[in-house]
Amino acid sequence: MTFGARLVQHRRNAGLSQEELSERSGVSVRAISDMERGRARSPQRRTTEALLDALGLDEHDRAELRRLARAGRVAPSGPVWSLPMYVADLVGRDTELDTIARKPDGLVVVHGAAGTGKTSLAVRAAHLLEGRFSDGQLFIDLEGSSQPLQRLLKDLGVPAEHMPEDANGQTRLYRSLLAGKRLLLVLDGARTEEEIRTLRADPGCLTVVTSRHRLAGLVGASWIRLGGLTEPCAVELLASIIGPHRVEADPGTARELVRLCGTSPLALRIAGNRLASRPRWPLSHLVEQIEERRLAALTAGDLDVRGAFEVSLAHLPRTAQVVFRRLGLLIGTHVTPDLAAELAGVTTAEAEQALEELADVSLLEPDDRGYAIHGLVRTFADGLIDATDDDADRRMLAWTLETKVAAGVLFGQTGDARRVSPRHRPFADVAAGRRWLDEHRDLLPEIVERAQARGLHDDVARAAIALSHYAAIEPGLVWERVYRLALASAREPWQEVVVLGQLGWVLFDVANRPGPALEVLTRAARITEESGETGHLGWVRLIASAAHSGLGHFDEAERVCLEAINSMHEPMDEHYARSVLGVLWRLMDRPIAAVTAHKEVAKEQRAYASTIYELSALGRTLGWLGLALIDVDKPDEAIEALTEAEDVYKRAQMASWLATTLWHRALAHRAAGRLAESDEDLGRALAGFRALGDGIGEIEILRALADNAEARGDHSAYQHHLRDSLAVCERWDTDATREIAAEVREILTGR
């Protein structure tokens, strides 16, 4: 509504003609006519007051007409423009620019951690959209402006003498100036939703907000979250600053520099500026500086990574600041409210609120595992830790190890491992416990070492023992290191026996080193004899039996296995030992006896198998039965047994054993002359081993594919699969893979 339109309404409501209003006010008829037709939009204050008195308006209507008169006096005569220059080398943000460009009007919130390039994106988008907003483009730095509304009014052409003194008057004037306009407004560095509600442009305009906060309370907004760049885009940004020739001359170091910068645009710009100003520096020199000095090396002029993070943290409540500080103690990259509570010494509810506040300013990233802390943000948190945080470190480590106990016992226990029971039960079911263990498995060695340095030996021993069945379900070389470390924490004989038994299993079954395994197991047996702690002796003997068989000592293996069966205290443990005896008989060229043993055990196990441990035992018996049936030339029965094993492992979600079962079923299909079905199972097994990072499994499958190709007479495919297996051997480069590689090279060279 303009001053002239409202004047017409009031004059007519008063029942006055222009001439009568002129006579009462002393304002000429022509002047009144020009004002009502919009030809004169900005009457002087004296004229305005004369008209108000003549119309006899109440205070509300008088205030409105005064505001409309002021708006007319300060209305911009043409487009307004206050954008800063855009960053010419903005890279990796095409998707985000397209998202903003598709918004004809309304509100877009660009949020993310410090240094992700939010301002650069918003300014670049505003420049690209200049042609769509005929009334101009405005930019205001909310962090650097104490009175942003006054600043916007000034940019819109309001002189100081016409600036309303109170905030309400300024807001009303601001709204009247934007009414009906097509304008793009960039509000940079917003902290609260209320700021945006006050300053956002009217419908028909586009407001682009940048903030470290998500500002989730804004209605009708579109949100764009900015994170780090992809590695190729980060390298491209670095090259745009220092020159492509320096990146092309040392691409490996360039990628390492990008990694150290966390692919953060701010950190990369700082690193690039330092290198650009020092053209004789090799990239490796800056890499060394960052590795030694961390964030202190990422400063150039007024650009400072640490300072940007400090600003984000400074405005948060104290509990959130304490939680963030203690995240420098975190092992890994993920934290949950329970763990944060232990770190900060607060309740879980308080910790969850703090984590949300940290995520709100993009210092953490919520995901389906809790909250993640990555890259330079983690480096920043690491730098805040000092000796005063030792108690928090002990609490975190003790909580983590006890949680591993609670999760580990869900998978079942055998022998003396049953003497470990959880002190709390945080998991609703086995699936939840398994997810937690899967996420933390590769962190176990670091957790154990840190806990031992803090003197938490009983916690370490309890966790290592409780995880024995989970380790069998998810085998890997990480367990050798875990159990070797845990030996130093086993303070009681029974604990030492259980840990040695687990280490013997890893050495034999995972690392394929029966000799060292037997040495460890002999030591365990000696401790049981000296201490009288025989609760785990059956399992020590059973694994020792397998180690003897691995060394070719079959008669001794059979004798020790029979002793193991007699030493077992639980029916399901005895069933498993009898199935291992069947494996031994197969190796002793007694396949019919092996088939009989496995069939009997499988029948008994089917009657009760429901837990993961019981299912895993049944699955192994069925797998061993399948191999024995291949030996007695019954491939179809073998396929039937191995298909049942596949179903069991799917129920138990045992990916490693499932891949092994598919491999063995492929052997049964080959024995039946069905090479196409064999190749199909091998393909699935190969995908499984690769997903698990199991190099030995991948190599064995590639060799099995080569055997199938040879059986079809396809020499080219045969050599192709062998060369692929050789490449995997070289990639993993262990004692076992070097031995296999030598054998494959002999085959390929025909020696």
Answer whether residue 515 shows pLDDT above 90. Answer: yes
Judged by DSSP in three states, 705 sits in helix
Query: What's the pLDDT score for residue 526?
Result: 96
In degrees and rounded to multiples of 5, residue 266 shows phi and psi of -65, -50
Query: Rg of the chain over CA atoms, in angstroms?
Result: 37
| 716 pLDDT tier (thresholds 50, 70, 90) | very high
Asked if 97 and 124 count as a contact pair (C-beta separation under 8 A), the reply is yes
- pLDDT, tens digit, 9 for 90 and up, residues 433-450: 999 999 899 999 999 999
The rounded distance, in Å, linking the Cα atoms of 545 and 559 is 8
For 7-38, give one letter per residue: b (16+ CB within 10 A) or e.
bbebbeeeebebeebbebbebeeebbeebbee
Closest by alpha carbon to 304, among 118, 114, 124? 114
- pLDDT, tens digit, 9 for 90 and up, residues 184-229: 999 999 989 999 999 999 888 999 999 988 898 899 899 999 988 9
Closest by alpha carbon to 537, among 549, 548, 547, 527? 527
From residue 250, how far is each of 255, 284, 292, 402 by CA, in Å?
9, 9, 21, 47
Answer whether residue 76 shows pLDDT above 70. Answer: no
Among 58-67, 248-257, 533-542, 630-639, whose mean pLDDT is lowest? 58-67
Task: Please give the average per-residue pLDDT across 584-592, as a whole number.
Answer: 95
From the CB of residue 436, how many other CB atoms can be counted at a distance below 10 Å? 18
| 306 pLDDT tier (thresholds 50, 70, 90) | confident
The rounded distance, in Å, linking the Cα atoms of 332 and 446 is 9
The rounded distance, in Å, linking the Cα atoms of 670 and 664 is 10
Answer whether residue 162 shows pLDDT above 80. Answer: no
Answer whether residue 62 shows pLDDT above 80. Answer: yes
Task: Please give the average per-residue pLDDT across 118-145, as a whole number.
Answer: 91
From the CB of residue 534, how many other CB atoms can be counted at a distance below 10 Å? 17
Answer whether residue 488 shows pLDDT above 80. Answer: yes
The rounded distance, in Å, linking the Cα atoms of 35 and 69 is 10
Answer whether residue 180 shows pLDDT above 70. Answer: yes
Judged by DSSP in three states, 368 sits in coil
Comparing 568 with 158, the larger pLDDT belongs to: 568
| 599 pLDDT tier (thresholds 50, 70, 90) | very high
- In DSSP notation, 459-491 reads HHHHHHHHTHHHHHHS--THHHHHHHHHHTT--
| 65 pLDDT tier (thresholds 50, 70, 90) | confident
Query: What's the pLDDT score for residue 39?
Result: 64
Answer whether residue 143 shows pLDDT above 80. Answer: yes
Closest by alpha carbon to 103, among 29, 214, 212, 209? 209
From the CB of residue 478, how many other CB atoms can be counted at a distance below 10 Å? 17
Among 159-168, 236-245, 482-491, 578-587, whose mean pLDDT is lowest? 159-168
For 110, the token pair is 């660009």
Closest by alpha carbon to 707, among 744, 733, 658, 660? 744
Asked if 689 and 698 count as a contact pair (C-beta separation under 8 A), the reply is yes
Task: Please give the average per-residue pLDDT across 689-709, as a whole number.
Answer: 92
| 1 pLDDT tier (thresholds 50, 70, 90) | low
| 100 pLDDT tier (thresholds 50, 70, 90) | very high
| 344 pLDDT tier (thresholds 50, 70, 90) | very high
Judged by DSSP in three states, 323 sits in helix
Query: What's the pLDDT score for residue 164?
Result: 84
| 45 pLDDT tier (thresholds 50, 70, 90) | confident
Bridge-based pairing state of the strands 303-304 and 299-300: antiparallel
The CB-based long-range contact list for 21-26 (8 Å cut-off, 24+ gap) reads: 21/51, 21/54, 21/55, 24/54, 25/50, 25/51, 25/53, 25/54, 26/50
Q: Which helix (H) or strand (E) holds 275?
A: helix 265-276
| 73 pLDDT tier (thresholds 50, 70, 90) | low
Query: What's the pLDDT score for residue 637?
Result: 97
Comparing 591 with 314, the larger pLDDT belongs to: 591
Beta strands in 484-553 (DSSP E): none
As a whole-number percent, the residues of the chain with pLDDT over 90 amount to: 61
Distance of CA 484 to the CA centre of its chain: 30
From residue 656, how far is each of 325, 464, 497, 619, 649 by CA, in Å?
39, 21, 27, 12, 9
Name beta bridge partners: 223. Answer: 109
As a whole-number percent, the residues of the chain with pLDDT over 70 amount to: 98
- pLDDT, tens digit, 9 for 90 and up, residues 408-425: 999 988 999 999 999 988
Query: What's the pLDDT score for residue 305?
Result: 82
Q: Which residues, other chains included, contact 423 with Cβ-Cβ below 8 Å and sequence gap of 6+?
A: 402, 405, 406
Answer whether residue 684 shows pLDDT above 60. Answer: yes
In degrees and rounded to multiples of 5, residue 638 shows phi and psi of -60, -40
Task: Please give the average per-residue pLDDT across 498-521, as a whole number.
Answer: 95
Query: What's the pLDDT score for residue 736?
Result: 77
Asked if 170 and 153 count as a contact pair (C-beta separation under 8 A), the reply is yes
Give the CA count within 13 Å in the CB-facing half-sphere of 133.
30
Name beta bridge partners: 187. Answer: 140, 209
Query: What's the pLDDT score for residue 74?
Result: 57
- Rounded (to 5) percent helix, strand, coil in the chain: 70, 5, 25
Comparing 369 with 137, the larger pLDDT belongs to: 137
- Longest CA–CA span in the chain (Å) reads 128
- pLDDT, tens digit, 9 for 90 and up, residues 623-677: 999 999 999 999 999 999 999 999 999 998 888 899 999 999 999 999 999 999 9
Query: What's the pLDDT score for residue 692?
Result: 86
Query: What's the pLDDT score for residue 70?
Result: 72
| Average of per-residue pLDDT values in the chain | 91
Query: What's the pLDDT score for residue 75?
Result: 53
As a residue count, the chain comes to 751
Q: Which helix (H) or strand (E) holds 184?
A: strand 184-188
Query: What's the pLDDT score for residue 152?
Result: 92
Handedness of CA 194, 196, 199, 203 (dihedral sign): negative
Comparing 713 with 70, the larger pLDDT belongs to: 713
For 162, the token pair is 């016409």
The rounded distance, in Å, linking the Cα atoms of 186 and 151 is 13
Query: What's the pLDDT score for residue 700?
Result: 94
Answer whether residue 472 shows pLDDT above 70. Answer: yes
Does the pTM surpass 0.75? The reply is no
Angle ∠(174,175,181) on CA atoms, nearest 5: 105
Q: Which residues, other chains included, contact 244 with Cβ-Cβ below 8 Å and sequence gap of 6+?
A: none
Query: What's the pLDDT score for residue 118?
Result: 93
Task: Please give the average per-residue pLDDT across 610-629, as a whole number.
Answer: 94
